[in-house]
Structure 1
Amino acid sequence: MYLNCHSYYSLRYGTIKPERLLAIASKNGFKTLALTDINNTSACLDFARLSEKYEIKPVLGVDFRNGAQQQFILLAKSNKGFHNINDYLSQFLHDQRLEIPQEAPQLDDVFVIYPYKSQQNIPLKQNEFLGIKPQDLNALKFSKWKDLRGKLVVLQTVSFENKKDFNTHRLLRAIDNNTLLSKLPKSEEGKETDNMLPYQTLCETYHEFPELLENTTALLNACQVDFDFSKEVPNNQKSYTESEASDYALLKKITYAGVSYRYESPDEVIYKRIKMELEIIKQKGFVSYFLINWKILKYARSQGYFYVGRGSGANSIVAYLLRITDVDPVELDLYFERFINLYRKNPPDFDIDFSWKDRDDITQFIFKNFKNTALLAVYNTFKFKASVRELAKVFGLPKEEIDKLTKGRYQEPDLDKLSKLVLVYSKYIQGFPNYLGLHASGIIISEKPIHYYTATFLPPKGFATTQFDMITAEDIGLYKFDILSQRGLGKIKDAVDIIKYNHPEKPPVDIHDIKGFKQDENIKDLLRNAKAIGCFYVESPAMRMLLKKLRVDTYLGLVAASSIIRPGVAKSGMMREYILRHRYPEYRKRAHPVLLRIMPETYGVMVYQEDVIKVAHYFGGLTLAEADTLRRGMSGKFRSREEFASVKQLFFTNCKQKGESEAVIHQIWTQIESFAGYAFAKGHSASYAVESYQSLFLKAYYPLEYMVATLNNFGGFYQTEFYVHEARMHGGVIEAPCVNRSFNEAFIQGKTIFLGFMFLHALEAKTIQALLRERQAHGAFESLDDFITRVPLAIEQVSILIKIDGFRFTGVNKRELLWEAHLKIRKVVIENRAVSLFQTEKIHYKMPALSSTLLENTFEELELLGFPLCSPFKLLEQPPNTVFLASDLLSFIGKTVTVSGYLVTTKYTVTKNQKVMYFGTFLDRKGHFIDTVHFPPVARQFPFRGKGVYTLTGKALEEFGCVHIEVSSMYKNAVMQDPRYVEPQKQIPVVC
């Protein structure tokens, strides 16, 4: 009976979850229900999948609207009709300038329902009907349509479940219209009566027009859209070649051809593994998936692009031989069943990382070479703090009140009525979809047209994007291709190129000599001592401390560390247990005998995702299919699904039947539950470790070139200034940008690093392009006059270059140059100056003798670069009187020390009591790291106050050879006043 139902995927309009909509319909006695979200098909497939649970036949369609103005509803009579609706909707989603017309198109297998209007003059075609809302019934009695009852249907819209939903809807509409709630036009709202009436009530409402009820029932009965959610057969592109048989022949050929490339003397173990994998890949219908990945990466290699194949795909020797991954699964004893097994219904995927510079070209290649291709969407939902801000604006609260609410600086009893409403409704809409965004990496290549499943929209990147996310894609059997962007690969590639020009006398770097890197003593030294700033995945404070605690100096040790660092392992307490068992063999006796037998390499501690499968299978007695459901369930995406809950119960039942104690079962289950969703597959960690070794090699032998590459790829874990600092610690001489020597990016010559123009915050891209273009065409600039003549720029842009001392080659003080520039440069810039045969000599003004101090220069560096090129300790109003350095702390364990530290980064966490504490990282006066812990009382009393030098007092503590300070007090040191705004006689000299 309901032809026009909205879920909360009618973005910023609807308020009901798709499954809740089905539950309401079931409760009210309906066996058929149409989902028609506004200009959106995001929920359609999930609605169809869930409908079986509620014994409801799903009907799919779209409510076409311009804003809140309903034009018509299209319902799919069949899958073909749904395809046609998606085709039509996508036209408008691809071109936002188009308005949805008043008249619906003629589409095969599609029903059209127009909203009733007294001035309705559009002649209705055979598949078209007029929808009558309850409020239209009286007008209908006096309309010409009363005699054409065969064309009339019930149109009771469903957008809300109750009054609170309607209030929420009004707030969402106000957010969407960027207006105060009090100024929201009625035309932008739905009706408060747009909710689901019980079957009997609906019949009574239309009792004078029983034909409408009959027509509506007939129309719904005529609709039948079916999708297969069994995932028995993948729905991706079926074949890469002309047939599935020739696909398999090609896969076998290139797999065996890769053996000689990967192995010097392959043995029977390798050939047996290849045969087993090929058979499973064929049986599961994943042959074309492997071949498409092979094709993409073959193209990448032809373009010289660096890439890393990671994720559970690294567990496959076929992937290794096809050069999709660089991890040998035989060497690492990787569990192929983690990637594909005969019981696994969900599709696998490869995660392929490219440099951020190369990724867009790879995406373009995929769209150009494979039909039925689309990017995957992600649902950006309302987060609590953002919702508080949005709703507070809608209620018209002042900025001070909004800031107080978003930062949680309030006592609820003290709040006024509006502020309380903001908090109530912010919690209510938390998790509602807000808008569709782009999945970080997912691309699908379907056998059927994408619009068979969904409409697509066109984000700024210009590639068609589905309206559903990766979970729905998997539900329907569309497994994604993950094409990711990663700065680490850009750093490695650029560093190799930089080494070529800065060390032409040396042989080319073989960055793929991973076997050699694993044995390299210099790399081992960096790992053991965690001297890995800038190196992929091993530079963060937490990873640096873990490497020290584990004394990692082997490949396998680094592989384990890459997964142990993930949140769940630490949360379960097993990170500490792993460190103990790794360092002190006697602790390994604490492991459960079964777990130690299953995971001897990690001392009976679950470290990798596949450990969940092993423990569930061998310890919990689950089948491989059940174990994989458990492993996936831990990801959080499926935790609420019933199949996961039943597998969890089976785990407990089986363990009890085997005679395991309740305490042991709960202990092991806690480990599984707390970390499995966050830990890596072993192959994933192994792939990361390969990239870490490549960056560690570059850091060990070419630290300056590697830091330049790091800077040019926008750093990593830390801010730009700390990579500049790291370069200086390795003997680099850092120069501010120079108009004659610098480029857009940082540039190294010998040991001198010239920062690039891109690091100047306010310098425009077109300024940089004009400068570099002119310099390349006509040579270096001789003077400021020469620069002004050749590069037409506004005074603001030239001032930036002067202030950063970019004209220091002239030998003229920059204060004089600034005066000169202001006198000689027009306010209005002429972009295309006329070329003159005779250059007019510029007027030379006699300038007063001006000077600038080192301190002034430093503050200008702070303003333009965001950091000084000298030590930040030189800027303190009073030199620190602390004597302790990072290197002294090991001698004062257990004692109270006071140190000075320049803040690098902080990390907050929430204790079991929901109190906030922090971990801090600082640099001492010599440039070495100091790590700190700030427990809740201290964190509250002595908060961080932004960038700067702090005096920290606390107890020096040591754990597994790693030193940190448990802070008891912390004060930020005052810096000198900016001399540019201080009278000259009050300035304090500084030596940088």
Structure 2
Amino acid sequence: MFLNCHTYYSLRYGTLKISDLLELGQQKGAIAMALTDVNSTSASLEFVRLSSEYNVKPILGVDFRIGAKQQFVMLAENNEGFKNINEYLSKFLHDREGSENLKIPSKAKQLPHTFVIYPFAFFEGETLSENEFIGVKLEDINRLKFSPWKNRPEKLVVLHTVTFQNKKGFNTHRLLRAIDNNTLLSKLPISEQASENDIFISEEKLKKSFEEFPQLIENTENLLKRCNIQFDFSKEKTCNQKSYTANEELDFRLLKKLAYAGIPYRYKRPGARVMARIEKELGIIREKGFVSYFLINWKILKYARSKGYFYVGRGSGANSIVAYLLRITDVDPVELDLYFERFINLYRKNPPDFDIDFSWQDRDDITDFIFEKFKNTALIAVYNTFKFRASVRELGKVFGLPKEEIDKLSSQDCDFKKLDKLSQLVIVYSKYIQGFPNYLGIHAGGILISEKPIHYYVSTFIPPKGYATTQFDMVIAEDIGLYKFDILSQRGLGKIKDAVEIVKYNHPEKKPLDIHDIKRFKKDEKIKTLLRSAQAIGCFYVESPAMRMLMKKLHVDDYLGLVAASSVIRPGVAKSGMMREYVMRHRFPEKRKEAHPVLLDIMPETYGVMVYQEDVIKVAHHFGGLDLSEADMLRRGMSGKFRSREEFQKVKDRFFNNCKTSGKNEAFTADVWRQIESFAGYAFAKGHSASYAVESYQSLFLKAYFPLEYMVATLNNGGGFYSVELYVHEARMHGGNILQPCINRSFGETVIYGKDIYIGFGFLQSFETKITEKIISERTKNGVFESLDDFLERVSIGMEQVTILIKINAFRFTGRNKRELLWEAYMKINKVSFEENVYTLFKPKKIDYKTPSLPHTALEDAFDEMELLGFPLCSPFELLANASENKLRATQLPQFTGKTVTIEAYLVTTKQTRTSRGEYMYFGNFVDREGYFVDTVHFPPVANQYRFRGKGIYSIIGKVIDEFDCITIEVIKMERLAIIQDPRYSPAPLPPEGGTVTDNRRTTLENRRKSAAL
């Protein structure tokens, strides 16, 4: 009797989880239910998957609406009908412009294997086709008695809409509608909300309400019987494109040929172990039906190589020798002894993961290629959900609270009991809608290539990226047997690629770099030194404070050490308490005896500590007695995707039962489980870590031999872990001469000439890209600019944009100070842009204005740079209001281990975390006057009392701690030091007639600009 049910995937409309809807149906006696979310099929497959658990027959369809107005409900008679509905809905979703409502007609298109139900209240036609009906709601019953349709009962069905469970659900619905309409709750139109009657009532009560019209009840039940939908969730086979060549046998022959053809490239003299591994893998790949998955990845990367694109193949597929031979990955699984069963085993139902990273500049072309080359292709969505703080802000606006109050509520800095009624409602309902899907986004890189049309499973929409995107996420896709291809974007590869090109033009005398010569890099002493000393700023995956500290603690100086560190740094290992244990056992061999013999035997390479995802499988299999299928399910379950599912709980119970049966100590078993649980969802597969380490070595090589060029490439590719300022600082620490943009030398990106690094126009705040293009175009065509006059004659530009160039000293080649140039520019151009310059045969005579003598200081430069770049190019220590006499430096800290010291340092970055008690604490990262790092720890009492106050120089008092050769300061007290008043807006004494501004600070600044730490 339920033909029109909504879940909360009716975005900003519905209020029920899928499981809650089914549970209500079971409780209210529903034998069959039609899920018809508003303009969405996001929940459809999950609804079908779960329905058997609640003994409810699932029926699928869509509630087509414009805003809140129901146009019609369409139901699928079978799977073909569901495909047709998805195609029909997708047409509207693809045509949608911006946030405008969908242009859905009042009359539905005739689609095979579908039924259409029009709402009685709005239907104006007189004729209906065989598959069309009129839906009568509870509130329509009295009107029906006086309607001509009363005489055509064969075309009437019961259309009871289910949107919420109770009064609280109705209130939640109204709040969601107010958010969607960006309006106050008090001003929400009735037309934009559901009826209070759209509540779940029992089937018995529904039938009783329509007892005067028994044929309506019969029609509704017959319609439900006619609808049958079937999907296979067993995952016995994938639904990905079955064959690459349109012939599965030919596919396998091609895969085998490619694998053997790749042997000479990868191995000079392959041994028996290599050949045996190849044969074993090929056999299982064929048996599991993953051949086309490998070939499609191979084709994508063959295209990438033909275009000269850099890429890194990682994921569990990096454990595969076939992937290595096909050049999908660059990790040799034989050399690293990668665990074969992590990559693939006979129990595994899903293909291995291949995460393919491309430069952010190349990824879109790769995506275009995939969509052109393969049919039935779509991106995967992610559900962006309501987060508590964002919900507080949204609901605060809906209730009309002032901004100050909303800020206070969202910070949770308030006592709930002392709040007024409205503020309490904001908190209550924010918690209630927390986790509700809010809108659909795009998965970072997931692409589906299906055997059947994508619309067989779900509708698609077109986000700004421009590619068809599914309305469900990767978890639902995998449930039905659709496994994604991960085509990811990564700026680290862009840095490497650009750095190679920059080296080529800045050092034309050198031979072209072979950035793929990883074997040579692994032996390079300069790289080993960078690793040991953790001087890895800008280098992929190894530049963060935490990673640099870990490398110091582990004395990492080789490839395998870096592979381990890449996974040890992951949150799970630290959370389980095993990161410290790993460091201890690594540094002190005698500590390895403390490992449990069984675990040490399973994982000798990592001293009995779980470091890689493979370790979870090994421990679950060898220690917990699970078969490989159960062990892999355990690993996947730990990621959070399947944690709540029944099958995962069964595996957990099996683990404990097996350990108990085999006589293992219960407390120790519980501790092993705790380590698995806290660790597995965050850990890397070893092959994945090895792939990361390859890219780290490439960036370390460039940093070791071409640090300036590499820093320029880093700046031009969006930096990395840190801000632009630190990479500029790092370039200066390596001897670079950092210069402001110059209209004759600079481009949009930062450029380097020898050791001179000119910051790009693109780094200037509020500077327009089109002006950059004009400058470069004119300079290329007609030569360098000779003066401000020459520039203004040749480039059409407004006063605002010229001001930016003058203030950043882009005209310094003229030898005139900024204030004089600003005065002249103001006199010569309007405050709005000119029309494009028109060249004439004779140049008009220049008008020369007498420019007054205007003083200017280097301090003003520093504040202009802070305004336009976000940081000064001089040392920030020169801007202190009170000159400091503190002499302590970072390099001296090891001499004061265990002692309390005071040091001054400039804040680089902070990291917030929580203690086991849930209290906030921080880690700080600073640089001292000489530019060397100072690392700090701020425990909760200190963190609460002495807070970070943004960028600036801090005076830090604390105890020096040496942990495994890693120096940190445990902060006792901290304050940010004041800087001078902005000289641009403070009165300054005029220089004596004929004189110049000469003060000690200016002289100091100008003498130290090139050598300053920051």
TM-score in terms of structure 2 length: 0.97
Deviation at 1:120, TM superposition (A): 2.5
Q: Does 1:989 align with 2:1001?
A: yes
Which residue of the other structure, out of 163, 168, 174, is the alignment partner of 2:167?
163
Q: Does 1:248 align with 2:252?
A: yes
Deviation at 1:988, TM superposition (A): 8.1
Corresponding residue of 2:493: 489
1:202 is paired with a residue of what secondary structure?
Answer: helix
Which residue of the other structure, out of 133, 140, 144, is the alignment partner of 2:137?
133
Corresponding residue of 2:1011: none
Corresponding residue of 2:914: 910
Corresponding residue of 2:30: 30
Structure 2 Cα separation of the partners of residues 326 and 362 of structure 1: 19
Deviation at 1:54, TM superposition (A): 1.3
Q: Is the 8 A contact 2:742 2:809 kept in 1?
A: yes
What is the CA deviation profile of residues 226-283 of structure 1, one whole-angstrom value per residue up to 9, with x for unaligned ones? 1111111111111111311111111000110000000011011111101111111111
Structure 2 Cα separation of the partners of residues 632 and 475 of structure 1: 13
Corresponding residue of 1:569: 573
Which residue of the other structure, out of 537, 540, 554, is the alignment partner of 1:536?
540
Q: Does 1:87 align with 2:92?
A: no
Unpaired runs of at least 5, structure 2? 991-998, 1006-1014
Q: Does 1:834 align with 2:838?
A: yes
Corresponding residue of 1:819: 823
Structure 2 Cα separation of the partners of residues 836 and 851 of structure 1: 37
2:1001 is paired with a residue of what secondary structure?
Answer: coil
Deviation at 1:832, TM superposition (A): 2.9
Q: Does 1:100 align with 2:112?
A: no
1:858 is paired with a residue of what secondary structure?
Answer: helix
Q: Does 1:439 align with 2:443?
A: yes
Q: Is the 8 A contact 2:388 2:430 kept in 1?
A: yes
Residue 471 of structure 2 aligns with an amino acid whose one-letter code is Q
Q: Is the 8 A contact 2:386 2:433 kept in 1?
A: yes
Structure 1 Cα separation of the partners of residues 521 and 704 of structure 2: 11
Q: Is the 8 A contact 2:794 2:837 kept in 1?
A: no
Q: Does 1:930 align with 2:942?
A: no
Q: How do residues 315-464 of structure 1 correspond to structure 2 at under 5 angstroms?
A: 315-464=319-468
Corresponding residue of 1:15: 15
Residue 461 of structure 1 aligns with an amino acid whose one-letter code is K
Q: How do residues 682-761 of structure 1 correspond to structure 2 at under 5 angstroms?
A: 682-761=686-765
What is the CA deviation profile of residues 311-350 of structure 1, one whole-angstrom value per residue up to 9, with x for unaligned ones? 1110000000000000000111111221221111234321
Residue 527 of structure 2 aligns with an amino acid whose one-letter code is I
Q: Is the 8 A contact 2:795 2:837 kept in 1?
A: no
Which residue of the other structure, out of 187, 194, 212, is the alignment partner of 2:191?
187
Residue 322 of structure 2 aligns with an amino acid whose one-letter code is V
Structure 2 Cα separation of the partners of residues 747 and 588 of structure 1: 51
Q: Does 1:612 align with 2:616?
A: yes
How many equivalent residue pairs? 992
Residue 88 of structure 1 aligns with an amino acid whose one-letter code is Y
Structure 2 Cα separation of the partners of residues 467 and 290 of structure 1: 26
Residue 672 of structure 1 aligns with an amino acid whose one-letter code is I
Q: Is the 8 A contact 2:798 2:834 kept in 1?
A: no
Residue 104 of structure 1 aligns with an amino acid whose one-letter code is A
2:557 is paired with a residue of what secondary structure?
Answer: coil
Change (3 A) 1:122 1:697: farther
Structure 1 Cα separation of the partners of residues 1001 and 528 of structure 2: 44
Q: Is the 8 A contact 1:118 1:143 kept in 2?
A: no
2:4 is paired with a residue of what secondary structure?
Answer: coil
Range with bigger deviation, 901-910 or 118-127: 118-127
Q: How do residues 278-289 of structure 1 correspond to structure 2 at under 5 angstroms?
A: 278-289=282-293
Deviation at 1:29, TM superposition (A): 1.2
Residue 559 of structure 1 aligns with an amino acid whose one-letter code is V
Q: Does 1:123 align with 2:127?
A: yes
1:462 is paired with a residue of what secondary structure?
Answer: coil
Deviation at 1:117, TM superposition (A): 2.3
Residue 537 of structure 2 aligns with an amino acid whose one-letter code is I
Deviation at 1:828, TM superposition (A): 3.3
Q: Does 1:149 align with 2:161?
A: no
Which residue of the other structure, out of 196, 199, 202, is the alignment partner of 2:203?
199
Residue 894 of structure 2 aligns with an amino acid whose one-letter code is L
Q: Is the 8 A contact 1:347 1:477 kept in 2?
A: no
Structure 1 Cα separation of the partners of residues 829 and 799 of structure 2: 6
Range with bigger deviation, 346-355 or 545-554: 346-355
Q: Is the 8 A contact 1:705 1:748 kept in 2?
A: yes
Corresponding residue of 2:315: 311
Range with bigger deviation, 191-200 or 648-657: 191-200
Which residue of the other structure, out of 269, 282, 296, is the alignment partner of 2:273?
269
Deviation at 1:118, TM superposition (A): 6.8
Range with bigger deviation, 221-230 or 612-621: 221-230
Residue 38 of structure 2 aligns with an amino acid whose one-letter code is I
Deviation at 1:830, TM superposition (A): 3.3
Q: Is the 8 A contact 1:734 1:754 kept in 2?
A: yes
Q: Is the 8 A contact 1:347 1:474 kept in 2?
A: no
2:414 is paired with a residue of what secondary structure?
Answer: coil
Which residue of the other structure, out of 476, 479, 485, is the alignment partner of 1:475?
479
Q: Does 1:520 align with 2:536?
A: no
Structure 2 Cα separation of the partners of residues 966 and 832 of structure 1: 60
Q: Is the 8 A contact 2:799 2:829 kept in 1?
A: yes
Deviation at 1:880, TM superposition (A): 2.5
What is the CA deviation profile of residues 69-110 of structure 1, one whole-angstrom value per residue up to 9, with x for unaligned ones? 100000001111111111111111111145101111110011
Q: Does 1:644 align with 2:648?
A: yes
Corresponding residue of 1:6: 6
Residue 868 of structure 1 aligns with an amino acid whose one-letter code is P
What is the CA deviation profile of residues 537-558 of structure 1, one whole-angstrom value per residue up to 9, with x for unaligned ones? 0000000100000000111110
Q: Is the 8 A contact 1:8 1:14 kept in 2?
A: yes
Q: Does 1:892 align with 2:896?
A: yes
Residue 613 of structure 1 aligns with an amino acid whose one-letter code is I
Range with bigger deviation, 542-551 or 239-248: 239-248
Structure 1 Cα separation of the partners of residues 198 and 122 of structure 2: 20
Deviation at 1:119, TM superposition (A): 6.1
Residue 72 of structure 2 aligns with an amino acid whose one-letter code is F
Corresponding residue of 1:860: 864
Residue 514 of structure 2 aligns with an amino acid whose one-letter code is D
What is the CA deviation profile of residues 629-662 of structure 1, one whole-angstrom value per residue up to 9, with x for unaligned ones? 1000000111111111110011011011111111
Deviation at 1:857, TM superposition (A): 0.5
Unpaired runs of at least 5, structure 1? none
Change (3 A) 1:118 1:757: closer
Percent identity of paired positions between Structure 1 and Structure 2 = 68
Residue 532 of structure 2 aligns with an amino acid whose one-letter code is R
